[in-house]
Structure 1
């Protein structure tokens, strides 16, 4: 028997519950980096808020909440600990992906374990053999954030077709089918635990494999028939996946802005005792950065609301809208990175010791901007090609 869906008003209370646990998450930020993974305590705190059920189908006790509910929460979490926001945010968005798989797979994941989550490594990095009823997959799948805390994993695979072409797919497998190589050691998102999944001749049945193109086209995914009345899942998964990076970037940037003001309000230069917070160049850098962050947030709020309105109307985006959604988030991250970098440089050498949170925000912001989904050079060209009426160029297309 499926759990009774929660009342819709509960989803609106998620932000309040998340904010209540932020002091504890922020207090563990240094530990998170030292451990190179999100502490189990942070995962437990956030699961207790119900945030992991934001994109869980109602049939399994989830909220099916609109996109802004998640992105606003992730902004707040990122200000306390970006690594935690990164890992947990991906765990949340993966529910959106899984809802597009056949109902058999959804039941397998959630029917008896509605708190189950998945990590991912969606680049098709392995080698596989086509066998009766599925594939046997081997390989090393890196960058699987939060994998220590999940019961499932989603990996990428290219399946050959009769005409010699390959179909890019996502495949789902349970925790017992792979090992984790503890190889994550990064300057940015140091605590995200983005380790490598190791697969050795793992059999994955066909019902656990879904072509990505089908997850992007209206009514094509194998799972959408399980959610005919959903006001969330009648939408392509890609922009929902990409949106968390902008949310995290905005949260980092806002925290950098707040700390910059706090630390420079009464700060004086060591050599001449001049009040730093009254100097023209400091005020100009602060104002410019504030405007960039406000503009980036305004852009994303408009985009996220557009996502919500399309999903609630069960209306897929046009090509023009899809390109805007996909590329706006990269522009927002780009603007946040410029703002953070400007403020960090203006903070002087005292911002560099590991005990100063500004240096962690600087590192986390720049790895966010370096992600394949936030590559603004590729996204800017994609937008330009759309505006000129040119077909997408696969050689420079943004990550799928």
Structure 2
């Protein structure tokens, strides 16, 4: 039996309003401020924030259940806001000075990100100068900070180091270029950085954050969530969102099909064998996906409770389980949508939005199953990781 989840209970109260705002969110191509205010009102942005700054430090299973439920109401909102939450987990592994910069005067502060190393860094005294057009920053309109990726030049003969820097909103511009077919409401825009200075205390190497060597590692000895690599928490929302979309699709398909009558023949579709079989198979597939993900999320929680760092095989499974789960969710959604009829394609029909957003959950670098299958296959065969596989 699952333990009580007060955050999920509070979230359920505001989901009808968030669902009602979904059309507006798509039209505006960003999460409505009302949604952000309601989600902050229940404290969801504090999910992975250190308790030292008023955070909740809830477990990954509790958080993922909230994200899945939120995705059923508005996937774009879930995508953007879940990242604003998980970035707090990442920042808790930076230096104490960085955490003071972010939360010392504003405990409600959040960060968006653009972590692909597109920025061009130049070493200077006390830090780096960063320039670049950094895309894919979901929810950036609502964040006070941004986590940005870059390759930092190292000593002669050494390869550049993949690093993250944290910059305040005053240091970058936002380019509104989010014109897409799926996940429209996420507001995933481009950050423009011009000669931005990032001091050393706001910089961490990605490798250190995956191997327990970052400046903030061990700062919170009583925590159950910060003795962990950053990446599993950062990526946790993607599969949860895909699951929430698929679970919502089961409901919408059943409601639409139950009373659907074929225009040319008058046949009652809801009682037809093909419709029943499609709904049954997708229901089994989505249920299996939830069970699979819940087992993975629970492993995350147990490792954190024991302060046990995962080995390479465990990390490979955590990394790739979610991509396989997304693949199954998309299949379940497609099975229903392809038989939902022409009216399901109208803009006002929720099913077409669920279909589009579902496919977008499989388009992220961390949910690309072609990549993940290679990562896991190499691990299972005892081969060294391929550095070209993120």
Q: TM-score range by the shorter chain?
A: over 0.9
Query: Partner residue of 1:361?
Result: 354
Match of 1:180 among 174, 178, 189: 174
Partners of 1:28 and 1:190 in 2: how far apart?
Answer: 13
Structure 2 counterpart SS, 1:284 = helix
Alignment-derived partner of residue 310 in structure 1? 303
Residue 160 of structure 2 corresponds to 166
Aligned pairs, how many? Answer: 387
Q: Distance in 2 between matches of 1:302 and 1:69?
A: 13
Which is worse superposed, 289-298 or 170-179?
289-298
Is 1:275 aligned to 2:271, yes or no?
Answer: no
Residue 135 of structure 1 deviates from its aligned partner by 0.7
The TM-score normalised by the length of structure 1 is: 0.95
Partner of 2:187: 193
Counterpart in the other structure of 1:143: 136
Q: Give 1:336's match in structure 2, choosing from 311, 329, 343.
A: 329
- Checking the alignment, whether the CA contact within 8 Å between 2:146 and 2:169 is kept in structure 1 is yes
CA distance in 2, matches of 1:126, 1:115: 27
SS at match of 2:185: coil
Q: How far apart are the structure 2 equivalents of 1:128 and 1:158? A: 7
Deviations, residues 238-264 of structure 1 (Å, cap 9, x unaligned) = 111111100000000000111001111
Partner of residue 208, structure 2: 214
1:1-400 correspondence runs (5 A): 12-162=5-155, 163-218=157-212, 220-395=213-388, 397=389, 399=390
Structure 2 unaligned runs (5+)? Answer: none
Cα distance, 1:272 vs structure 2: 1.0
Deviations 1:98-125 (A, max 9, x none): 0010000001101221100000000111
Distance in 2 between the 1:338 and 1:351 partners? 17
Look up the match of 1:4: none
Deviation at 1:225, TM superposition (A): 3.1
Structure-2 separation of matches of 1:49 and 1:343: 34
Alpha-carbon distance in structure 1 between the residues aligned to 2:190 and 2:179: 11
CA distance in 2, matches of 1:148, 1:188: 18
Tell me, yes or no, if the aligned pair for 2:122 and 2:153 is still in contact at 8 Å.
Answer: no
Residues 136 and 188 of structure 2 are in contact (CA less than 8 Å); yes or no, is this contact kept in structure 1?
A: yes
SS at match of 1:198: strand
**Structure 2 residue aligned with 1:5:** none
- Residue by residue over 1:44-102, the C-alpha shift from the partner in whole angstroms, topping out at 9 and shown as x without a partner, is 00000111001000100111111011110111110000000000000000001000100
Q: Where do 4+ consecutive residues of structure 1 move more than 3 Å?
A: none
Q: Partners of 1:62 and 1:49 in 2: how far apart?
A: 12
| Post-superposition offset of 1:282 | 1.4
Distance 2:235 2:83 in 1: 10
Root-mean-square deviation (Å): 1.1
The 2-side partners of 1:334 and 1:35 are apart by: 28
d(CA) in 1 for partners of 2:266, 2:52: 63
Structure 2 CA distance, aligned partners of 1:188 and 1:161? 39
Partner of 1:130: helix, strand, or coil? strand
Please name the residue that 1:6 is paired with: none
SS in 1 for 2:161: strand
SS of the residue 1:114 aligns to: coil
Q: Which moved more, 1:386-395 or 1:234-243?
A: 386-395
Q: How many angstroms does 1:12 deviate by?
A: 3.0
Between the aligned partners of 2:296 and 2:119, the Cα distance in structure 1 is 35
